[in-house]
Chains A and B, each alone.
Chain A
Amino acid sequence: MGASAIAPRSASRHQALPGLGLTLGVTVVWLGAIVIVPLAALALKPWELGAAGVLAALSEPRVLAAFRMSFGGALAATLASVPVGILLAWAITRYRFPGRRVLDALIDLPFALPTAVAGLALTALFATNGWLGAPIEAVTGWKVAYTPAGVIVALFFVALPFIVRTVEPVLRDLPAETEEAAATLGATRLQTIRRVVLPALAPATVTGFGLGFARAVGEYGSVIFIAGNMPMVSEIAPLLIIVKLEQFNYAAAAAVGLAMLVLSFAILLLLNLWQRRLRRGQR
């Protein structure tokens, strides 16, 4: 502002601020040492087994079952968190009510609560004598803790804030005119929500789904207490990495880790493409 009044605009734009060398240098060393080199080790290590060995390590029935649990559980949990997340985002953006600020802050609790604490808490709640586990078992006969359902409950808790926090800004910034226009054209409130509001939320929902899913797939602390960790039944892929490490089978552990990363990045990429298409469709 001040500078452009004195110097011509082009000159102020060309004036480089100092510190690029230092800050970029620090950034590259920090990123390289902590993230790039260690991830490179993950990309290299599995191949000590040879391509056939990697394939054999990944196609063990126990490994396949763990991948099904982690990816299938994350999918189910994140899907379940979509309607609840949209409802919570709707309530905090559209209505004014006592306790709204507290509700808003609470939604970030799964981000701030250490995962082991969440895991312990959910286990206590959903155990057969827990506050929620006991009534659920009495009514439906289902056990939640120490079953695959317990895994999904924990992943739901982890994924939910991602949906709320990505949908919320879109819901807040949605121009009132579009809803008014629909109403003026004779749409009922429900029609307006179904045909105008929800489609507008779709791209953000897909983004939130991706973030929540990515987090849920790799989740460990919230899950292992409530999962029961039965091989072939309720064992998650991250736990299998630890099992392989305890057997000193580093290459197999790395193979499972690398496969998890590649698979979840591929899913994220697809979701990203889908989200872009949805966004284009709206213009």
Chain B
Amino acid sequence: MSAATQDPAPARIALVLLGAALAAAIFLLPLAAVLAEALRRGWEPAWTAISDPDSIAAIRLTLLVAAIAVPINAAGGIAAAWAIAKCDFAGKRVLITLIELPFSVSPVISGLVYVLLFGAQGYFGPALRAYGFEIIFALPGLVLATVFVTFPFVARTLIPLMQEQGREEEEAAATLGAGGWQIFLRVTLPNVKWALLAGVLLCNARAMGEFGAVSVVSGHIRGQTNTMPLHVEILYNEYMFVGAFAVAALLALLGVVTLAAKTLLETLTARRIGEHA
């Protein structure tokens, strides 16, 4: 860049300082506030709140829901990316739009749709209940709502990358006699492993942190259908502020670690991942 297109030094410094100050106020201050509130009375009460049986149950449930939801979306995302990037069929653009659709749907609506299907007055709710299946206010509802809100994460990190990489390597493998699974495991997967990992991490962070969608289908039964974010809300509404902020700090840690891992993976692959997730 020539001198004519450089901003004058004072403007440069002022803009950087302003940007840094804004970023600190917008992004760091909230994190600091969570930590400060959690440790308001020291480590002891914060730790007591986290190791409380209801909190432990919430942590367990959150891990369980993510452990079911994330693989479902990883498998679906990989399948969709293979079909779209490596095969020919009509309607790819429509398919991609539909896959990304859940990102433009309010989390509350993401929970609502399953209540409409499986709730007490839903389309299939009464019939399923007659056979003893509980979906809403139970684990399956939490999983479904979580799968919905995290639906596009893996697909949207893989599709553009696999389209960019083209099909020549896979075609060469096919010419040499490799079968479909062999091509995928030996050729495609090594090429996309870091992007896949990043997609899975983002999907997992959202799955564990989801609030609105699971709030609609949970029923908020303590120790049974309360995930960590819902537990935070209950503690907060009961004026157990230290507990609420302590569990929130744990969730914030999840977010920060995910962010650090994503940044590391972006450095490794030299490309941005999950742009507008």
Contact = CB atoms under 8 A, between A and B. Distances in A.
Contact-residue size bin, chain B (C-beta under 8 Å from the other chain): 35 or more
A137 to B, nearest CB: 17
- Chain A interface, DSSP helix/strand/loop, else mixed: helix
B108 to A, nearest CB: 4
B106 A20 contact: no
B28 interface: yes
B1 interface: yes
Contacts of B140: none
Interface in A1-22: 1-4, 6-7, 12, 15-20, 22
A20 B81 CA distance: 11
B232 interface: yes
A121 B28 CA distance: 10
B33 A157 contact: no
B5 A180 contact: yes
A152 interface: no
A38 B172 contact: no
Interface stretch (A49-57, A138-146, A214-222): A214-222
A17 B79 contact: no
Interface string B69-84: 0001001101110110
Q: Which bucket holds chain A's interface residue count?
A: 35 or more
A63 interface: no
Contact of A189 (B7, B72, B255, B258): B7
B255 A31 contact: no
Contacts of A88: 19, 22-23
Interface string B150-187: 01000000000000000111111011000110011000
A41 B123 contact: yes
B179 A18 contact: yes
Nearest to B181: A19
B44 interface: no
A87 B256 CA distance: 23
A130 B275 CA distance: 32
Contacts of B236: 120, 225
Interface SS of chain B: helix
B82 A19 contact: yes
B117 A38 contact: yes
B23 A106 contact: yes
Given A34-B144, A38-B116, A116 B80 contact: no
B36 to A, nearest CB: 8
Contacts of A180: 2, 4-5
A120 B245 contact: yes
Contacts of A104: 263
Nearest to B19: A91
Contact of B262 (A36, A108, A114, A189): A108
A264 interface: yes
Interface stretch (B10-18, B126-134, B189-197): B10-18
Contact of B98 (A17, A31, A38, A116): A31
Interface in B222-253: 229-230, 232-233, 236, 244-245, 248, 251-252
Given A18-B180, A91-B15, A112 B107 contact: no
A250 to B, nearest CB: 5
A157 B174 contact: no
B89 A20 contact: yes
A281 interface: no
Contacts of A38: 113-114, 116-117, 148
Contact of B109 (A117, A124, A225, A238): A238
B107 A238 contact: yes
B102 interface: yes
A41 B113 contact: yes
Interface in A201-227: 211, 214-215, 217-221, 225
The 10 nearest A-B residue pairs measured at CB: A218-B106, A114-B209, A183-B4, A38-B113, A220-B212, A91-B19, A121-B30, A221-B211, A30-B76, A18-B180
27 contacts: A7-B175, A17-B183, A18-B179, A19-B86, A19-B184, A24-B89, A34-B148, A38-B114, A88-B19, A103-B20, A105-B263, A112-B205, A113-B30, A113-B255, A114-B248, A114-B255, A120-B232, A124-B33, A131-B33, A166-B276, A179-B1, A218-B105, A238-B212, A242-B108, A248-B120, A250-B121, A250-B122
